Structure 1
């Protein structure tokens, strides 16, 4: 059988970084779609699409954790998935309208093709694992494709079933009658690679915040309120980077690299618990762009839902992620969440440039508090 699996090493390859460019586009499409449909329906639809985009990316990460991207067949798979990902990303703005069938076909095709490739090339327990995964994703694909051909409520219902199947699968061990279920100890993963890939996805989302903020401010008159909003967005992005990378990612990477059961840790900490982290960054980016575009508007509950809601999601996700490698949910993050609630309540009396600055200040408080606390404990 042709060799397609990694022999040694955990470093992320250039082909994988090239693959991620598609998801830079996907995240941009999601944030812009929410910006142009900034209401409850738009939030629910883009939230759903975000969960789908994250899931197709994280499944790819698990697969390329085992495959060698230097091998021609693997590169062929990776570039094919890139093409499908581009069609999926291009269809995002109208995925619940005329291009739903394109989104569904590209999404389902990616999930099934990748799993079929792994099943074909794997042996032993890994082959059984991907037989289970292929069964679950094929079942979901039926609902994706049927939903793509339907309209309105029928599409939403069918796609909801499809995504539910995919998210529940790992929780059940991908149980299939006759094949049984997987155990986390069967999942041979390179922990350092998984951690690095998730960190790079966070960088993608933070980069989207910078790009959107810069592009919005560049097209405006550079007055004081707009400048303050832009600086708040910049400070908030730096704060998110610091809160995630300075302690949390480094500690999480060390833990998964030395874990006796890296598969279970990868599933919990890097597959599920990264969802609110990444979603919070994207939502906060939308709030920052609205603050830059309309700095003197007041921070109504609708505006606060993005600016402060994104911050809340980000802090909850980081706190849970760090809780996996620590004894407690970080006190600094609990304080940050309390301050976020107060900021949201005060929002209707604050202009958006000020509310954006308050969000950045809360992140600074969390980062400084956490660094002081952990540094003090290490020195004791």
Structure 2
């Protein structure tokens, strides 16, 4: 047993061939379950014509899922030693996230956080345990790790207070939740100001890319529902058109997102935090897009109360948010030729205008192909070549 418990030393941030571990991929599997559960709630809300009412709940729960993934991912990039105790604590976190995911539908409907709170407490125990382990074995990062552990515990105590002190779904609940998320997001800045953790830049880029693929999988699930309408008693060619258009959209998003290998160009704290935190809007917009496409399938198969124009607003705004944020966190930091640097903000504005015009989904698909040919016209070589 002594050989299976090793000191939790920092990883080399310049380590060659650093890739995601099977445990990290396993963790992502739990995350995709949680994202799917939260996205399903927004899908049903949009389909029923109550999407705007459901939006605060979606934002509240989605950010919680992302934050769990975010905390673990950056820790693992800096301190993963893959010993038995490390694996056990990560599995504790996974258990908590799965409890939260299992209750996501119930939480979405009622905002009763009983089971969600239980899941979060379990997750925090595992995460705080990891930081305390790192603090014990690394005097150079002791203050940083202790700050993380204290921040996690304090934030969790605040979530318990919000559950005890506010009514589920009340204005006070959402105001308090926003304030606690501000505390949550501030913990890394406070902790890293003692000494920055030695995260591996390329490993982090890969981890974020893998979560993006998971998010795109939510759209693929919606697309499959559209194709599934071909096999019903009353085959719907209109649903198939929605599915084909959705497929073009998801392929285009993949193409544009992964057209730059060096997503994060520096390990400096401020740009790294802008890139790391900003991605929540990319993932959130991608999940919203999946919910909107699923709702569009409901509309054309007469299973939804919303109109096509209403769903179009959700789809167009989700695309606008996704590409505007991608420009902010990635393209703005790259030295791109002007014509390439303009692609994402200009097309984000076009998608936003399209949402208010109520464009059909096939029009968004055509616009996405235009964006691919504008922003990523080359598969290799000099991207700035004319």
Note the residue ranges of structure 2 that are not aligned, 5 or more in a row.
none
Kindly state the Cα deviation for residue 346 of structure 1 after the two structures are TM-superposed. 2.0
Aligned to 1:186, what secondary structure does the other structure show? coil
Give yes or no for the alignment of 1:315 onto 2:334.
Answer: no
**Which residue of 2 is the match for residue 210 of structure 1?**
220
Within the candidate set 129, 132, 151, 2:144 is matched to 129
Q: How do 1:86-125 and structure 2 match up within 5 A?
A: 86-95=98-107, 97=110, 99-122=112-135, 123-125=138-140
**Which residue of 2 is the match for residue 36 of structure 1?**
44
Structure 1 stretch displaced more, 356-365 or 328-337 = 328-337
Q: How do 1:199-348 and structure 2 match up within 5 A?
A: 199-219=209-229, 220=232, 221-247=234-260, 250-253=261-264, 255=265, 259=266, 261-269=267-275, 271-295=276-300, 298-300=307-309, 302-321=310-329, 322-326=331-335, 330-347=341-358
Kindly state the Cα deviation for residue 65 of structure 1 after the two structures are TM-superposed. 0.8
Kindly state the Cα deviation for residue 265 of structure 1 after the two structures are TM-superposed. 3.8
Q: Deviations over 1:38-78 (max 9, x none)?
A: 32221111111111111111111011112336311111111
TM-score normalized with structure 2 length: 0.84
In structure 1, how many angstroms separate the alpha carbons of the residues matched to 2:367 and 2:23? Answer: 37
Q: Deviations over 1:329-349 (max 9, x none)?
A: 8211122123213312321xx
Give yes or no for the alignment of 1:151 onto 2:161.
Answer: no
Kindly state the Cα deviation for residue 163 of structure 1 after the two structures are TM-superposed. 1.5
Within the candidate set 57, 71, 90, 1:59 is matched to 71
In 2, are the aligned partners of 1:31 and 1:286 still within 8 Å (CA)? yes
Aligned residue pairs total 357
Structure 1 residues 109 and 164: alpha-carbon distance in aligned structure 2, compared to 1, 3 A threshold = farther
Kindly state the Cα deviation for residue 312 of structure 1 after the two structures are TM-superposed. 0.8
In structure 1, how many angstroms separate the alpha carbons of the residues matched to 2:268 and 2:124? Answer: 23
Q: Deviations over 1:197-250 (max 9, x none)?
A: 000000001012112320353154433211110100111110110110122xx1
Q: Relative CO higher for 1 or 2, CA cutoff 8 Å, sep ≥ 6?
A: 2
In structure 2, how many angstroms separate the alpha carbons of the residues matched to 1:186 and 1:252? Answer: 20
In structure 2, how many angstroms separate the alpha carbons of the residues matched to 1:81 and 1:75? Answer: 10
Q: Deviations over 1:260-314 (max 9, x none)?
A: x354443221x212112111111111111111222387532x3233211110111
